[in-house]
């Protein structure tokens, strides 16, 4: 049987204003853009890399 993919819930808790432009673009790529916005993403190496880049702007929960 196929194993269920682990899901992450990402919530933006800080604005990207004052940080490098590529960090704002990374938030957009994750589906975020406003403080309090929440999205669910499948856990994979690409998403983990994006999370690492903006870890100071978001909160991550494992579902």
pTM (2 d.p.): 0.90
Token look-up 């919530």 returns 11
Query: When comparing pLDDT for 2 and 24, which is higher?
Result: 24
Spell out the domain ranges in the chain.
7-62
**Per-residue pLDDT at 1:** 56
pLDDT tens profile 6-57: 999 999 999 999 999 999 999 999 999 999 999 999 999 999 999 999 999 9
CATH 3.30.465.10 fits 7-62, yes or no: no
Per-residue exposure over 6-37, b if at least 16 CB sit within 10 Å of its own CB, e if not:
eebebebeeebeeeeeebbebbeebebeeeee
Q: Is 10 helix (H, G, I), strand (E, B) or coil?
A: strand
Higher pLDDT, 13 or 1: 13
């Amino acid at each position: 049987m196929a194993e269920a993919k682990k899901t992450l819930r990402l919530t933006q808790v800080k604005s990207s204003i004052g940080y490098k432009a590529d960090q704002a673009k990374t938030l957009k790529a994750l589906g975020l853009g406003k403080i309090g916005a929440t999205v669910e993403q499948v856990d994979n190496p690409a998403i983990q890399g994006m999370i690492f880049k903006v870890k100071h702007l978001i909160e991550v929960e494992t579902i």
